[in-house]
Amino acid sequence: MTETIPPNAATGSETAEKPARRAFLKTTGLSTLGAYVGMTIPFEANLMALAQGMSEEDIMQGKDGLILMNDRPLNAETPAHLLDDDVTPYKYFFVRNNGLVPDTALNMNAEGWTLTVDGEVDTPLELTLADLKEKFEVITRRLVIECGGNGRAYFNPGASGNQWTTGAVGCADWTGVRLSDVLNAAGVKDSAVYTGHFGNDPHLSGDAEKEAISRGVPIEKAMAEGGMIAWDMNGEPIPAVHGFPLRVINPGYPGSASQKFLTRIWVRDKVHDGAKMTGYSYRLPAYPVAPGTEVPEEDMVIMTEMPVKSLITFPQSGAETPAGQATEIRGHAWAGSGDIAAVDVSIDFGQTWIAARLEPAINKFAWQRFRADVTLPQAGYYEVWARATDMNGVAQPPVVPGWNPRGYGNNMQHRIALIAT
């Protein structure tokens, strides 16, 4: 299911109607989320089960202009033009859940919350939020989180799952502690191979014995620069749909490696085999395959570093601009390696390229702003393409790369339409 919020909401502008609309949402019943997103939502009973006693509009309170991809679990993406901020605000940050949002998050109640760190460590830890804040250096980092399936909608033949286009990505300021500092405090043994992450989000079935998701990363990644255990997003407690009160963040890897509602880090002596770590989940073929190929499970390998990517955030696709006058094109670029070398744009379908001005990242794994001035020579239809290149010389391809059964890792060049008048 894919429905779009009405155009007046998608602009992101503040209008006189919004306070009244918000008041309406706070005082109405079952249909309020449908009113909020401008559509009728099927399976409202499921959403009420998800809400677990809270009014459903509170689950997405403050979100604006997102495209609802799925209601169970709740998933929504952001149109490209709403991602123009250097720091993605909460209202425009995409939503990707695998299970239900837990009561602790819905009620924003972290009383008694603990994080367990155990397994292949010398000293197992049980840490409260106060322990994390008092015993470790507190840092703030601007980090990109992107769903591994971002761009799935463009695979042919299609792949199952949410049909994300370009908006399952955001770059926020996260506050917390270094993941490596916590692991070092526990004393990681030489036998450590992988982490396994666990949260308290209920499985969609309601079966308490099942995990909604439990993924992990190689121990080398967990100990590397960028990894965090965060409790704040953009200076406020992490909102319910983004993992309150704690989430681990492993930037440069698929967003599924940044577990929400974090309760445990299990250091393992083998590759983690939790929910959505095996089979076809977040896995790619070990060798190139033709589109539509049935790939045996044993030939699938875990998706790790995300590919280089860019997104044009201004102007909005379909905008009109005067012919013969310079028009600013801007957006962001990022890569799983954390480093961007260049961004180029084209107005002639990739025949020639214009070097964009690239701003430095505020820290590793933050996205980088690019800007370019283009002049459309005469009236008519044009496409603007963007191509980022990472520090290893790897650039975005013009077409969907490497078909795979679940539609992961699409980093084709982003393009928008412009009408010269």
CATH at residue 227: 3.90.420.10
Are 159 and 19 in the same domain?
Answer: no
Instruction: Determine which helix (DSSP H) or strand (DSSP E) holds 350, and give its type and residue range.
Output: none
**pLDDT for 30 beyond 80:** no
CATH at residue 361: 2.60.40.650
Q: DSSP letter string over 154-209?
A: G-SS--SS----S-SEEEEEEEEEEHHHHHHHH-B-TT--EEEEEE-PPPTT--TT
**pLDDT for 275 beyond 60:** yes
Domain final residue, candidates 276, 302, 328: 302
Percent of the chain scoring above 70 in pLDDT: 86
Are 369 and 220 in the same domain?
Answer: no
**Residue 261, domain extent:** 114-302
What letter represents residue 332's amino acid?
A: H
356-366 per-position pLDDT tens digit: 999 999 999 99
pLDDT at 4: 35
**pLDDT for 33 beyond 50:** no
Least confident of 17-31, 53-67, 239-253, 285-299: 17-31
Instruction: List the one residue out of 181, 187, 186, 183 whose CA is nearest residue 137.
Output: 181
**pLDDT for 10 beyond 60:** no
Least confident of 53-62, 98-107, 194-203, 357-366: 53-62
**pLDDT for 50 beyond 70:** no
**pLDDT for 156 beyond 60:** yes
Higher-pLDDT residue of 13, 291: 291
- Given a contact cutoff of 8 angstroms between Cβ atoms, the answer to whether 401 and 412 are in contact is yes
Residue 338 maps to a domain: yes
Residue 36 maps to a domain: yes
The confidence band for 58, taking pLDDT boundaries of 50, 70 and 90, is confident
The confidence band for 71, taking pLDDT boundaries of 50, 70 and 90, is confident
Domain final residue, candidates 270, 302, 334: 302
**pLDDT for 341 beyond 90:** yes
pLDDT at 61: 87
The confidence band for 59, taking pLDDT boundaries of 50, 70 and 90, is confident
- Given a contact cutoff of 8 angstroms between Cβ atoms, the answer to whether 331 and 346 are in contact is no
**pLDDT for 1 beyond 90:** no
Least confident of 158-162, 171-175, 331-335: 158-162
**pLDDT for 55 beyond 50:** no
Q: What is the pTM of this model?
A: 0.87
The confidence band for 57, taking pLDDT boundaries of 50, 70 and 90, is low
Residue 104 maps to a domain: no
Are 225 and 118 in the same domain?
Answer: yes
Query: What pairing do the DSSP bridges indicate for beta strands 194-199 and 326-334?
Result: unpaired
Are 192 and 330 in the same domain?
Answer: no
Beta-bridge partner residues of 6: none
**pLDDT for 96 beyond 60:** yes
pLDDT at 11: 31
Are 118 and 10 in the same domain?
Answer: no
Q: Centre a 10 Å sphere on the Cβ of residue 318 and count the other Cβ atoms it contains.
A: 10
Are 223 and 151 in the same domain?
Answer: yes
